[in-house]
Amino acid sequence: MRYQAADSSLYIKNRKKLVDKLSAQALAVFHSNDIMPTNADGTMRFRQNNDLFYLTGIDQEESILVLCPNFPKKEMREMLFIRKTDEHIAIWEGHKYTKEEAFAASGIEQVLWLDEFEGIFAQLMALSNEVYLNTNEHLRAAVNVETRDARFIQHCKKRFPLHTYRRVAPLMHEIRSIKEPEEITQLQVACDITEQGFRRILQFVKPGVREYEIEAEYQHEFVRSGSRGFAYEPIIASGANACVLHYISNDQVCKDGDLLLFDVGAEYGNYNADMSRTIPVNGKFTKRQRAIYDAVLRVQRAACDLLKPGVTIQDYHVEVGKIMESELLSLGLLDKGDIASQDPKSPAYRKYFMHGTSHHLGLDVHDVGTMYDPVQPGMVFTVEPGIYVREEGIGVRLENNILIRENGFTDLMANIPIEAEEIEDLMNGY
């Protein structure tokens, strides 16, 4: 394992939080993700199901967690089923968890081989009334592939049609949105690795390099620091490419006089950083670029101060929009006539700032957690305003990750350069 795993006490706490929300005579089941195919006999790299990982710390395929907290036999109240390994698997695929290792990672005493699951599951179902099963209910999810969870739901309903089936996703969204200290530690490492990558490319970028060369520099620094690589497809967008919000081609030449927008983050231990920075390709902002950059930075800092316990993300976005409107007026991108004639449902500022300012961050880059209930201490959010002036070929986005406290916030990216002067100094070797 290339990352330092959290102690099993984290996963014991996480399971207790879920169990406390389950109804009496309930049973909950969580499956690992599938290993997805590519072509021929190829497969994608395995990525664990985040709910299973959150509850167990187990980072291996073909794993099942079963929670049945009121079952008469104590040893059957929480069980972990893992793939049985042998010499053949060890030779062809490498080491897999032993039962002892799975217990050490998860804190689950009852670790069994996967081939025992069906028989034991039938025993549990006989004394359970309600069954909590998992689905991907993220508001932005587009699920086009049948998952292991989906197949299991069909299997359960066919074999046990008279049970009451419940959604566990809302409960997981609620508990996962509040981060434990051990999770903050993993997120901080991901942010620190991201910082190392950014500082590396500040020494590398110059007119004439291609965007994918910069991507390679980030990847090199991330992997050598214990990350599996990018937390998501990186955006390395120079010039007008920065005005394409999800630009991932990363194949153009960076030109003298252009800005270069990064939206990148390192993964560490399945937790994710999410950083945006914008730098001048030649190491010096023009007057116009600097004016837009400073405007975005002011909005970002004001937004961080607004994001506090008790506010809702919906109201917060309205307030950030008002601040952005003021900055766009000062830049001459909007005038009072634009404001007077705007449609309240589509404010004028959205011509130049068309995306949201913040989202939850954690095991998922767009982490689970409601966007309608009030913000609470322990939540982690991105703060990422931007201004995109397509007619000038200028796009600026600045994004940090913050932990919400009872009073104020902690910026997990406080050490990553963001002031224009510091970026220019670092790029020019001062």
Look at residue 27 in the predicted model and tell me its pLDDT.
Answer: 97
**Contact present, 115 and 86 (Cβ < 8 Å):** no
Active site residue 384: yes
CATH 3.90.230.10 range(s) for the chain read 181-427
The predicted-structure confidence for 87-115, as pLDDT tens digits, reads as follows 888 888 889 999 999 999 999 999 999 99
Residues of the chain with pLDDT under 70: none
> Which of 182, 274, 367, 424 is labelled catalytic?
274
Active site residue 397: yes
CATH 3.40.350.10 range(s) for the chain read 8-176
**Contact present, 277 and 262 (Cβ < 8 Å):** yes
H or E segment at 79?
strand 78-82
Query: Cα(349)–Cα(389) distance, rounded to whole angstroms?
Result: 11
Query: Cα(395)–Cα(259) distance, rounded to whole angstroms?
Result: 7
Active site residue 399: yes
Active site residue 155: no
Active site residue 109: no
Look at residue 48 in the predicted model and tell me its pLDDT.
Answer: 96
Contacts of 404 (CB under 8 A, 6+ apart): 307, 308, 309, 375, 376, 377, 378, 379, 380, 381
Residue type, 342: Q
Active site residue 137: no
Q: Model pTM?
A: 0.96
Q: Does domain 181-427 have CATH number 3.30.70.3270?
A: no
Residue 354 backbone zone (phi > 0: left; psi -120 to 50: alpha; other: beta)? alpha
> Which of 176, 277, 360, 397 is labelled catalytic?
397
**Contact present, 96 and 102 (Cβ < 8 Å):** no
CB contact burial 54-78 (16+ within 10 A = b; e otherwise)? bbbbbbbbbbbbbbbbebeeeeebb
Look at residue 137 in the predicted model and tell me its pLDDT.
Answer: 83
> Which of 263, 325, 367, 424 is labelled catalytic?
263
* Residue 261 backbone dihedrals phi, psi, to 5 degrees: -100, 130
| CATH T-level topology, domain 8-176 | Creatine Amidinohydrolase; Chain A, domain 1 (3.40.350)
Long-range pairs for 36-44 at CB < 8 Å and ≥24 separation?
36/145
> Which of 140, 246, 343, 406 is labelled catalytic?
246
> Which of 61, 78, 399, 424 is labelled catalytic?
399
Active site residue 388: yes
> Which of 155, 167, 288, 355 is labelled catalytic?
355
Query: Cα(349)–Cα(372) distance, rounded to whole angstroms?
Result: 23
